[in-house]
Every structure is written in structure tokens, then in C-alpha cells.
Amino acid sequence: MTWEKLRKIIDDVKEKFGEDLVREVYVEGKIAKIVVKKESIVEVATYLRDTHKFDHVKGVTGVDLSRLREGGGPYIEVLYHLGSLEDPELDDVILNMSVILDIENPMMNSLYSIWPSVEFHEREVYDMLGVIFNGHPKLERILLPEYWMDIPPLRKEYKVPGRE
């Protein structure tokens, strides 16, 4: 029942937001993912929280896909791993909501106002990949020294000193 419900949620989001969704990936029992246009991320996130009871974010990750051979690029993908404690049918699934960002200007709206649990996760993605989260209450370094001036270390073009 859980995966059927998740499928219905994704279908509902597709129906409501249509062109604001870039694509979906759905492999029953393994992964459910929607890719949302960055301009619509706050609206889609609010809808998932208010309508479908995704009440928290388990994690936020970022991936530099600049060397991806298929699917275009170069870009950075930011993924929000959504969960629900309120709905028992969704307690064992994660809905991944992702955004594709231009690698030259990786900027998007923060989801802190919707899910405060993203605060430190977004800071880590900022620190390690250079993604700017507009509206974040304290977007500053969390892992790297504050004087860091090099390329973010999880970018593909970063060269580890001494390993060239």
C-alpha cells in the first residue's frame, strides 16, 4: 500500500504542477524521485508538506554532474530527501525532490521556511558545492575554514593539493 500511495502522490503533484516538473523516476520499492524546476521548488515543497504530510527533510545532498555523459549538463543537482512521520503509510519511504542548477550560477531558494530541518544540510551543500540558497537565515561555512577561497571541494574541477 505504501508504494501505491506514493505513486498516487506523485501523480497528484504531476497533475497540479504539470510543466513545473521536469521528470520523475519511480522504481517500486527502491526510489521515488521528482525533478522540479528551481522557480517552483518552494510552491511544490509547500504543497507536499501541507497536502501530503511530508513533514520533514531527512537530508539534503548535492551532486556535481558536470561530467555526466548523458542527459546534458554541466549542472549540479540538489536533492531533498523527504519523509513523513505524520502519515504511517509513508513512514518507510523517502520521496526525493530534486532541482537541476546551472553549474556557473548554482542558485535556488532555500526551503528553510518550509522545513527548518534543512538549515545545516543546505549549509553543507553551500560549503562543499557552492550552491547559494536564497533566503537561508545563516548561509555560512559549516565544514571548511571561513577563509576558504578555492573551488568548492566536491566540484569535479577541484584539484587536491599535492595530487595533480
Q: How many domains are there within the chain?
A: 1
Q: Domain holding 16: CATH number?
A: 3.30.460.80
pLDDT tens figures, 42-95: 999 999 999 999 999 999 999 998 877 666 668 999 999 999 999 988 888 889
Residue 63 belongs to some domain of the structure: yes
CB-CB contact of 131 with 62 (8 Å): yes
pLDDT tens figures, 86-124: 998 888 888 999 999 999 999 999 999 999 999 999 999
**What confidence tier does 158 reach under pLDDT thresholds 50, 70, 90?**
confident
pLDDT: which is higher, 3 or 129: 129
pLDDT score for 66: 82
Residue 77 belongs to some domain of the structure: yes
Residue 137 belongs to some domain of the structure: no
Residue 158 belongs to some domain of the structure: no
| Distance from C-alpha of 113 to C-alpha of 138, rounded to nearest angstrom | 12
| Domain that residue 92 falls in | 2-100
